């Protein structure tokens, strides 16, 4: 086929396009292998214009995944058990040496239309969700020999945050007939894409074992469809250049960094990159650092002990100065603050916790040939303590899955010594914001570099750390594998089978099988959690129960717009922290914050209650926490957690006496809109369409403070604020617009404390902006009134 014969009207299968001989035009665009899509090619003078059509398709395996129903009836003796629970079969299974993919038996009650799942050793563990039972039986009856149920995972049941053991299973075609496999895939996709929401919401795509190479291919596919061949070329060039530097023998000393206030994804990314380098190149010096405490939820992850902190000379000087100042104070609180600061001073100078301990004694900071920054969305999430390492680095690599907003890196060179524009120009910045977890990108890059193969062959210890870190990060950043890609609003409305899918659980399974050790989904369930101690000390209430009680007091629900909010002030969190420390000296404020964020109250606000049963007379805190609402927006609920995590006079996370109050926001939405990202943008934050965050700092700021919002310098109403935030999100996410043009197109949004008592509180601002967003959305077909 001759390329000149293809016109703008031609759409060709990509396999054909691969066989086309590339013309000798000087400015012709390269054709890159992008599987699973159809592309259109148009000759425009000396250039080739490539457009992407078609849909994302599931790979070879034909299956469908679902959450097993009725599990509480098989958890007798547990806090989350059904009142009529008759056995503890699922409890026994969870404690056994279960494996993902092990076969489940089944039986069908044709009269009651109930499809029961059974473990061969322990018996019944639950049922197939009612909306898909008959559809499953139709499929099974068409070929009973080749359709099998398999266990996909067991979660929860290890803390009072998650008192119910949950289980997932899959129905899979296991035969060898390609034609029947394709027929099975069609049937499963029909269920995924059903117009009946009860059916479609009962299932999720089957998680094939996805190799790191396939993850990288999927990045090319998704970015090509979203942004065209030019963006794929940028990503491919970045991957190739980064791989070259990782394998460059001149890079003998390497520093790997993650963001402050670390979550599982940044911790896992740092562990993954560090151990892959160590496993492949044991002769090199590889240091790992995060300038913050590691949350207790991740202290059991192998490799976390290798993450050290930098010596922060400015923090030490600030603490010392504040101690001297407080020693002159007559304030009765001063003595307590001095005690806190002295402990902080000891911690900041603990050489055993530092990757470059000689700097404590004033020696020059180490010089690294390569610094690798991972999963860091803004310069504000990094630390000034890394400045000498960035400034002296031979080169810097940047890998992330958050939308890259240049405005949020404008101060990075002066603040951190990190020149992101130079890193981009050097083709060492790899950003793929469709990927749900940075750990997946890190895995794909390490595999492309050949480091995974070398690590698995030469170092079982590093391989174990790598797999543990990567699956811990992938699981946590995808909300236990619920988020399989980061969608734009337009993609979110596509049928499920046509959406991009990075199969994060499938990639984890690929790594688990490759490692073949004790690190698996059972290990994750039993190790990736931390719960506040709960022995009653004050008012007959333990710290964990106090979290639940205060979370309920701070809950607000607005069913008419599908909004639920929870808020907690600093004094409450500080009091719970001090009570918890009496039982566990290692408790951190982060653990208290996460306990609120992961509480049953927030779970209820985020849940889609289509199939939940109401408790008409809730009595205990747990029962009240499970109380939720019915809404026309249940498929795209917005849940917001607001925490006043700093007050004037307190010791902030930078080891300073805070001169302002701060409220942190965590936004979550169902993914059908960019609600979370828009709301975060209003408060100066950012993130993904379905998960985002922000911080707001002001003197005297609390949840009752009235705020004024200006757009381009003019006080704005809710619609103007929404329009401006939505504009900024759309501009930021559009990779076809260059950075300079983006800056011109962005609206300036400012929040000030009201001077005349008018304006909106944080809660009112969120509610009013979301109301405008809902008004711009298509009206839903159904409405609900009562709480569940």
Taking residue 383's Cβ as centre, other Cβ atoms within 10 Å add up to: 23
Element (H, E) at 51: strand 47-53
CA-CA-CA-CA torsion sign (254, 260, 264, 266):
negative
The pLDDT value recorded for residue 779 is: 62
The tokens of 244 are what? Answer: 């070259």
* pLDDT per position as a tens digit, 689-704: 888 999 999 999 999 9
φ and ψ at residue 179, rounded to 5 degrees: -65, -45
Distance CA 340, CA 336 (A): 6
* pLDDT per position as a tens digit, 602-630: 988 988 766 555 556 777 777 788 788 88
Distance CA 31, CA 35 (A): 12
Taking residue 353's Cβ as centre, other Cβ atoms within 10 Å add up to: 14
Instruction: Say if residues 705 and 753 touch (Cβ distance below 8 Å).
Output: yes
Distance CA 286, CA 299 (A): 21
Contacts of 527 (CB under 8 A, 6+ apart): 300, 301
* pLDDT per position as a tens digit, 645-704: 999 988 777 777 788 999 999 999 887 788 999 999 999 988 888 889 999 999 999 999
Instruction: Say if residues 207 and 505 touch (Cβ distance below 8 Å).
Output: yes
Residue 220, Cβ density class (10 Å: 0-12 exposed, 13-18 middle, ≥19 buried): buried
Instruction: Say if residues 419 and 391 touch (Cβ distance below 8 Å).
Output: no
The pLDDT value recorded for residue 163 is: 78
Contacts of 508 (CB under 8 A, 6+ apart): 470, 471, 474, 475, 481, 521
What are the residue ranges in the chain where pLDDT is below 70? Answer: 1-60, 161, 538-539, 609-616, 779-788
The pLDDT value recorded for residue 787 is: 43
The pLDDT value recorded for residue 410 is: 84
The pLDDT value recorded for residue 610 is: 61
On the CB side of 502, CA atoms within 13 Å amount to 32
Distance CA 26, CA 22 (A): 11
Instruction: Say if residues 768 and 760 touch (Cβ distance below 8 Å).
Output: yes
The pLDDT value recorded for residue 615 is: 59
Distance CA 174, CA 206 (A): 13
């Amino acid at each position: 086929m001759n390329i000149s014969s293809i016109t703008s009207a031609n759409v060709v299968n990509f396999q054909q396009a691969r066989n086309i001989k590339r013309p000798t035009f000087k400015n012709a665009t390269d054709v890159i292998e992008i599987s699973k899509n159809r592309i259109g090619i148009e000759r425009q003078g000396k250039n080739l214009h490539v457009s992407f059509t078609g849909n994302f398709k599931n790979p070879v395996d034909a299956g469908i995944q679902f959450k097993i129903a009725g599990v509480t009836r098989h958890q007798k003796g547990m806090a989350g058990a059904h009142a009529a629970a008759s056995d503890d079969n699922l409890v026994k299974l969870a404690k056994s040496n279960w494996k993902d993919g092990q076969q489940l038996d089944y039986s069908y009650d044709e009269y009651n239309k109930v499809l029961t799942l059974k473990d061969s050793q322990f018996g019944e563990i639950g049922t197939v969700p009612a909306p898909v039972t008959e559809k499953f039986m139709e499929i099974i009856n068409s070929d009973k020999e080749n359709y099998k149920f398999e266990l996909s995972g067991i979660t929860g049941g290890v803390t009072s945050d998650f008192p119910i053991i949950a289980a997932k299973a899959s129905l899979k075609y296991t035969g060898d007939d390609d034609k029947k496999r394709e027929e099975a895939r069609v049937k499963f996709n029909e269920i995924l894409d059903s117009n009946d929401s009860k059916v479609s919401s009962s299932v999720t795509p089957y998680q094939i074992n996805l190799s790191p190479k396939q993850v990288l291919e999927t990045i090319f596919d998704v970015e090509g469809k979203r942004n065209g061949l030019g963006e794929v070329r940028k990503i491919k060039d970045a991957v190739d250049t980064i791989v070259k530097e990782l394998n460059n023998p001149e890079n003998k000393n390497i520093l790997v960094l993650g963001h402050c206030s670390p979550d599982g994804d940044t911790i896992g990314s740092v562990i993954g990159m560090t151990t892959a380098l160590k496993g492949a190149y044991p002769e090199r010096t590889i240091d790992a650092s995060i300038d913050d405490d590691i949350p207790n939820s991740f202290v059991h992850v192998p490799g976390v002990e290798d993450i050290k902190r930098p010596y922060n000379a400015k923090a030490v000087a600030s603490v010392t100065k504040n101690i001297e100042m407080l020693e002159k104070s007559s304030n009765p609180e001063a003595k307590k603050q001095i005690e806190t600061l002295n402990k902080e001073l000891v911690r900041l100078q603990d050489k055993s916790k530092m990757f470059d301990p000689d700097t404590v004694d004033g020696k020059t900071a180490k010089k690294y040939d390569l610094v690798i920054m991972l999963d860091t969305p803004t310069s504000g999430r990094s630390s000034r303590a890394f400045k000498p390492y960035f400034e002296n680095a031979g080169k810097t690599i940047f890998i992330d899955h958050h939308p890259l907003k240049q405005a949020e890196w404008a101060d990075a060179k002066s603040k951190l010594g990190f020149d992101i524009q130079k890193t981009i120009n050097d083709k060492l910045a790899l950003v793929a914001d469709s990927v749900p977890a940075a750990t997946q990108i890190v895995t794909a890059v390490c595999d492309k570099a050949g480091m995974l193969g070398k690590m698995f062959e030469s170092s079982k210890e590093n391989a174990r750390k790598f797999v543990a870190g990567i699956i811990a990060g992938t699981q946590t950043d995808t909300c236990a594998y619920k988020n399989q890609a980061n969608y734009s609003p337009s993609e979110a409305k596509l049928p499920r089978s046509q959406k991009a899918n990075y199969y994060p659980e499938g990639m984890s399974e690929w790594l688990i099988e490759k490692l073949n050790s004790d690190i698996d989904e059972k290990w994750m369930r039993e190790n990736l959690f931390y719960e506040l101690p709960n022995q009653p000390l004050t008012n007959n209430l333990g710290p964990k129960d106090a979290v639940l009680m205060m979370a309920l007091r701070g809950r607000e629900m607005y069913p008419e717009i599908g909004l639920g909010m929870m808020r907690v002030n600093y004094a409450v969190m500080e009091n719970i922290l001090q009570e918890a420390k009496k039982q566990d000296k290692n408790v951190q404020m982060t653990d208290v914050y996460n306990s609120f964020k992961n509480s049953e109250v927030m779970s209820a606000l985020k849940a889609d209650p289509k199939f939940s049963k109401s408790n008409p007379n809730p009595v205990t805190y747990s029962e009240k926490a499970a109380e939720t609402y019915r809404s026309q927006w249940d498929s795209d609920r917005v849940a917001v957690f607001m925490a006043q995590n700093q007050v004037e006079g307190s010791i902030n996370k930078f080891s300073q006496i805070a001169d302002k109050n701060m409220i942190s926001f965590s936004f979550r939405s169902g993914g059908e809109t960019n609600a979370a990202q828009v709301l975060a943008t209003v408060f100066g934050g950012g993130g993904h369409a379905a998960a985002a965050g922000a911080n707001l700092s002001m003197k005297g700021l609390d949840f009752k403070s009235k705020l004024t919002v200006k757009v381009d310098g003019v006080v704005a109403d809710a619609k103007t604020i929404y329009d401006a935030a939505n504009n900024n999100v759309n501009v930021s996410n559009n990779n076809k617009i260059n950075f300079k043009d983006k800056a011109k197109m962005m609206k300036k949004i400012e929040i000030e404390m009201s001077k005349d008592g008018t304006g909106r509180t944080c809660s009112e601002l969120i509610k009013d902006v979301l109301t405008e967003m809902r008004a711009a959305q298509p009206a839903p077909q159904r409405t609900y009134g009562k709480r569940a």
